[in-house]
A and B are shown apart, each in its own frame.
Chain A
C-alpha cells in the first residue's frame, strides 16, 4: 500500500528562498492511482515530482508515502523509482548493468538480479538489447530501458518526469499506449509529469492541473474537461482550447443570471455563486459546442481560416467584444460543411454546455 499525501508543501529556491515555486500544496493520491501532473512550463510540476522523489527537500510541509512521513528520507528509503526525461542511463554500462545497478547496490544475490532483469526486459521487449550500450539504442529503446530500470526494483511508487517529450510524434503515440498498458499491469501508484494534455487525458485516472505553484484543479480527466473549476483549467484542458468571450451581467438572482454577450445577445444561465448586476464575466464555450446558425445567432463573426485535420475541421473566426477588442473564436465544423473565408457568419451555441467565469476566473455555472 503506497498512497501519497502532501500536506502544506512549499518549496522556494534562491539564497533567501525568494523564488517560491510551490505554494502550499495539499494532495491526496490513493494507492494504485495513475495521476498526471500537468501544467504550463514553470508551473512547478517537475519540482513537485522531485519533492515526492526526495531529490528536493520542501521548504515547509510534509510528504507521506504509504502513510509514513518521508519528508526527510532519502530517495532510496522512500521506495520509489523514477524515469527521467533524459532517461539518465549510465552511458558506460550496457542495458543489463543499467537495469541491474540498483539491485547490485542493494547487494541482492546474482541469481535474483538476473531473474528480475530478464523478466523486466521481456515485459518491455528489450531482452535482445541487454548487451548494448545506451548510445547504441534508439530513443524508444532507451525509454524502455529507463522504464525497465525502474521496474526491476519493484517499487511501490513510479515517478515519470516527462518521459515521452524526447520522442518523435509517432513513437510518442505508441509509447503512450504502452504506458497505459504498463499502468494497468503494474497496479502501482504512478505519478506522471507532462505538459501534453493529450497524454494527461489519455493516461490518467486523475489529473492535477498546476498553475503558478498552485493546484488549479484535481480530478478525473473528463470531470476537468466538462466541469473546469476555473478559467485556467478551462483554457488548458482541451484542444483547440475553450473559447472565452467577455460578457456582462445585466440581471441576476440567487439561482440565475442574465448575461449580455458582445452587446448583442442575452443568455440566461444557472449559477452556483453570487453575481451582481454590472459584473464583468467570461463566457466559455468549447469549439464542438458552437455551430453556424442559419438564422440570427448569438454572435456575428468573420471566418478567417479553416483547418482541415481529416477527422475534424476547425474554423477560426474573429469578432469584437463590447469593448471593441478583437476576439478569436474556434468552432468545430461538420466535415461536409463548406465555409467561405472572409464571410460573416452568425454563430450559436448549445447553452447547456456554456461556462460562466466570474471576474476572479472561478466557474460559477451550476451544472
Chain B
C-alpha cells in the first residue's frame, strides 16, 4: 500500500474534516458574515429586499460610540464583570475549600446542592428569584423586616437592580467553577500541606502558600471563563428587569439584542457584537499576561 506523506496527510484531513466543516459552517461563517454586516446598514428593509443593503463603512461603530446608551450598557456590563466575576470566583473557591476539608460531613450532598443551580433552567430560576426579591411578598424582604430593615425594591430601585442580578448570577454559576476548583485542590499533593505544617504554617498560611499557588492555572482558567461569560450577561436582565429600572441593567449584549431583534438594525447589532468581542479579547490577553508575570502556566 502506498503510504506517501500526501496520503498520510489526506487521511488526517479527512478525519478532521467533519468537525472542521461544522465549525466553519456554524461558527466562522456566521462570525465572518456578522463582521461584514457590521459595515452595512442591514435592517428589516434589507431582509425584504437585499438591494436595500448599503455599505456604510465605520458608521455603525461611530454611531455606537456616540450613543449614550452604549456607554451606560458598557458601564453596567463592566460593573457586573468586575463585581460579579470576583464574587462568583470567591464563592466557588470558598465552597471548594469547604468541600475538600476532611472534617466536613455530607460532602456529596452539599456538593449536589451547590451544583444544582448550574443545571437548572435559567429562566425558571430567574422567575423564582423575581418572587424571592419581590418588594411586598418576597422572602428576602420578609427576612429583612424581621431584622428591622425596611423593604427594598430590589429589581425596581436603580441602585439595587444590578446588585440583585449579581447575587442571582453568582448563586446560579458558582457551582460550575467550584467543581473545577475541587478537582484542582484534590490534585495538590498532601505532602506539601504536611511539609508546611511541619514548617509551622497555620491553616491560613497553608492556604496562601500551598493551595493558592497550586491553584494558579485553575484560577486563570476560571477567571477567563467567568469573565467571558459575564461579559455576555443577557438572560438575567431580560427575564428579571428588561433592562430597567432607568436602564441600570441594560448590558452590552442586551443592547445588541434590542438593536438586532427588537429594532431589526442587524448592522448596528453586529457592530455591538464585535465591540464586545474586542473587549473580551483584550481582557483575556491582559489576564494571560498577568498570569504569565506571576509565573502561572
Contact = CB atoms under 8 A, between A and B. Distances in A.
Interface of A: 53-55, 74-76, 80-82, 84-86, 88-92, 101-102, 105-106, 149, 153
B201 A53 contact: no
A90 B200 contact: no
Contacts of A91: 213-214
A86 B189 contact: yes
B198 A82 contact: yes
Ordered nearest first, which 4 A-B pairs have the shortest CB separation? A88-B191, A102-B199, A88-B195, A92-B213
26 contacts: A53-B198, A75-B198, A75-B200, A76-B197, A76-B200, A80-B198, A82-B195, A82-B198, A84-B195, A85-B191, A86-B189, A88-B189, A88-B194, A89-B195, A90-B210, A92-B214, A92-B216, A92-B295, A101-B196, A101-B199, A101-B201, A101-B209, A102-B198, A102-B200, A105-B199, A149-B195
A86 B198 contact: no
B192 interface: yes
A105 B194 contact: no
Given A90-B209, A92-B213, A92-B295, A105 B200 contact: yes
B194 A55 contact: yes
B217 to A, nearest CB: 11
Contacts, number: 57
Nearest to A159: B198
A101 B208 CA distance: 13
A270 to B, nearest CB: 50
A265 B209 CA distance: 69
A347 to B, nearest CB: 49
A215 to B, nearest CB: 24
Contacts of A85: 191
A211 to B, nearest CB: 26
A243 B295 CA distance: 57
Nearest to A102: B199
Nearest to B191: A88
A244 B200 CA distance: 49
Contacts of B295: 92
A149 B194 CA distance: 14
A76 B196 CA distance: 10
Contacts of B197: 55, 74-76
Contacts of B209: 90, 101
Contact of A88 (B192, B201, B214): B192
A86 B295 CA distance: 23
B100 interface: no
B145 interface: no
Interface in B82-141: none
B210 A105 contact: no
B220 to A, nearest CB: 14
B214 to A, nearest CB: 7
Contacts of B289: none
A153 B197 CA distance: 14
Contacts of B198: 53-55, 75-76, 80-82, 102
Given A90-B210, A91-B213, A92-B216, A105 B205 contact: yes
Contacts of A74: 197
A86 B200 contact: no
Nearest to B200: A76
A278 to B, nearest CB: 54
Nearest to B294: A92
B105 to A, nearest CB: 12
A276 to B, nearest CB: 51
Contacts of A92: 213-214, 216, 295
Given A88-B192, A102-B200, 11 more contacts: A53-B198, A55-B194, A55-B197, A55-B198, A76-B200, A88-B195, A90-B195, A90-B209, A92-B214, A102-B198, A106-B200
A88 B214 CA distance: 13
A90 B191 CA distance: 10
A106 B189 CA distance: 24
Interface string B172-208: 0000000000000000010110111111110001000
Nearest to B193: A88
B297 to A, nearest CB: 10
A148 to B, nearest CB: 13
A149 B195 CA distance: 10
Nearest to B202: A105
A277 to B, nearest CB: 56
Contacts of B205: 105
A102 B210 CA distance: 13
Among B200, B201, B213, B216, the one with the most A-chain Cβ atoms within 10 Å of its Cβ is: B200
B159 to A, nearest CB: 41
A16 to B, nearest CB: 16
A357 B12 CA distance: 69
A86 B191 contact: yes
A206 to B, nearest CB: 24
Contacts of B216: 92
Nearest to B296: A92
A102 B200 CA distance: 6
A84 B199 CA distance: 13
A298 B295 CA distance: 71
A15 to B, nearest CB: 12
Among B196, B197, B199, the one with the most A-chain Cβ atoms within 10 Å of its Cβ is: B199
A91 B216 CA distance: 12
Contacts of B192: 88, 90
A101 to B, nearest CB: 5
Given A90-B213, A92-B295, A105 B201 contact: yes
Among B194, B210, B213, B295, the one with the most A-chain Cβ atoms within 10 Å of its Cβ is: B194
Contacts of B189: 86, 88
